[in-house]
Structure 1
């Protein structure tokens, strides 16, 4: 999953960060998997998702549970920060969603994307990244998606690898810890990177190199293992 290919992101058509239903992302991911399986029917399916793409990956894998060989989640959006979803803020968001759903809220602070300032600068200069404020209606969709993810956790049996920085200010690491604890999968791993920010694959070289190696090794190990018949 890459946000640059998602509806309302990157080069996609239409208004930025404006969708009516989060399921649109899951639907598109399911269709992409079907397309790839039709082209490569003998290859196992692995899903890799980062941030909001992590939530999409989880929901997609839950709908394709018998077809997924493994899921890699980099700082996934599993749980909203308690500071963000206080009862008062949720109440106000619901009110504003009825009155002015297109009202922009605060934008993502790029300084929390990576500790590597060259990567932060590149993020700021990339025209495919959305730099405006998140709309109230989109915020409501994110909250609904996180609620769906949390409901699915007790049913997750597919293999997964979680990677998260413990200084991530954009996606709360408590969500990854919650998933690791609640998911009954017999093949699961959580790797925490001390001091790392949100985009582990774009963090300081020692972190990004370690994360990529971890992902590569994890997938390779499962490629060499006997595949269960679906």
Structure 2
């Protein structure tokens, strides 16, 4: 069992009876305690052979680290040590569901987890693999810790919202209501926008760790503020990046990936667009998933030593 805390042994002792939102004891689960005292559930996938590098998976809004089992398996098969956690308010971590007072909390917790892994594996490079809102988090993580991140893979990063949601009057109303009625629901995400593979849509419906409720005004405003701050952040990024996006994505506008590709200062950057594909390229129809995995493997292998 791997339990880590930024708060010392006393905090760990108090975890003996602390329960996840699903009623499991944190003392039986891998977790760390963030700076706010929230318990953050973690997952680790370690290869049988000596790892070539570390890869942190950063999940998107409403999902959780367990949504990436297949991606993690693919990476582990490349002799990579994969780690991830459920953002606060997600999955098996504490916190109000799909709600956070400041976007920087997600970034701060990722940096804390990275520090933990650096301490345990000081000689290994760290790569990020981030999807959707996780991509937005990853951009800020790289900005905060550029020397710690050797490269990043983005799948449909949240850099621009879809045009319908980005209409000026809607943005104005969201910001206004954020101060008046932050808990007012805005509506739920259509799961059929995630993938053209109906099995994946069904899996999402049935996953009790995914959030199936409505997004609230307050959370939407937090995301908009983080997106608006990107214009001063993207230009500072020199880390190698691979950006993958489906041109039929109705959740994260593909224009954001074009903007990101143009603005990042990295001399090692690649953008691959998948025609007629939806939001979760790693859970698309089998032929697309196979191509996505092959691209990720090739990109990493070009930048890492061969497995021993």
TM-score range, shorter chain: over 0.9
* Deviation of the 1:14 alpha carbon: 2.6
Matches of 2:282 and 2:107, distance apart in 1: 23
Shift of residue 114 of structure 1? 0.3
Correspondent of 1:86 among 164, 167, 192:
167
Aligned counterparts, 1:60-71, within 5 A? 60-71=141-152
- Report whether the alignment pairs 1:120 with 2:120: no
Partner SS, residue 24 of structure 1: helix
- Between structure 1 and structure 2, the one with the greater Rg is 2
Aligned pair 1:8/2:65, yes or no?
Answer: no
Deviation at 1:92, TM superposition (A): 1.1
**How many angstroms apart in 1 are the aligned matches of 2:220 and 2:59?**
19
Structure 2 gap ranges (5+) = 1-57, 65-85
TM-score between both structures, scaled by the size of structure 2? 0.71
Task: Point out the more displaced range, 214-223 or 185-194.
Answer: 214-223
Aligned to 2:103: 22
Question: Corresponding residue for 2:260?
Answer: 179
What TM-score do the two structures reach when normalised by structure 1? 0.95
Task: Tell me if structure 2 keeps the 8 A contact 1:79–1:150.
Answer: no
Aligned residue for 1:158, secondary structure, equals coil
Given that residues 78 and 150 in structure 1 are in contact (C-alpha distance below 8 angstroms), is that contact kept between their aligned partners in structure 2?
A: no
Q: 1:171 deviation in Å?
A: 0.5
SS of the residue corresponding to residue 223 of structure 1 reads coil
Identify, as 1 or 2, the structure richer in strand. 2
CA distance in 1, matches of 2:270, 2:176: 40
Structure 1: unaligned runs, 5 residues or longer: 226-230
Higher RCO structure (Cα 8 Å, ≥6 apart): 1
In structure 1, distance between residues paired with 2:93 and 2:192 = 25
RMSD over aligned Cα, in angstroms? Answer: 1.2
User: Which of 162, 175, 180 is the matching residue for 1:99?
Assistant: 180
Q: Return the alpha-carbon distance in structure 1 between the equivalents of residues 232 and 287 of structure 2.
A: 35
Superposed structure 1 runs of 4+ greater than 4 Å apart: none
Considering fraction of residues, name the structure with more helix. 1
Secondary structure of 2:233's aligned partner: helix
Q: How far did residue 145 of structure 1 move? A: 1.1
The CA deviation at 1:81 is 2.3
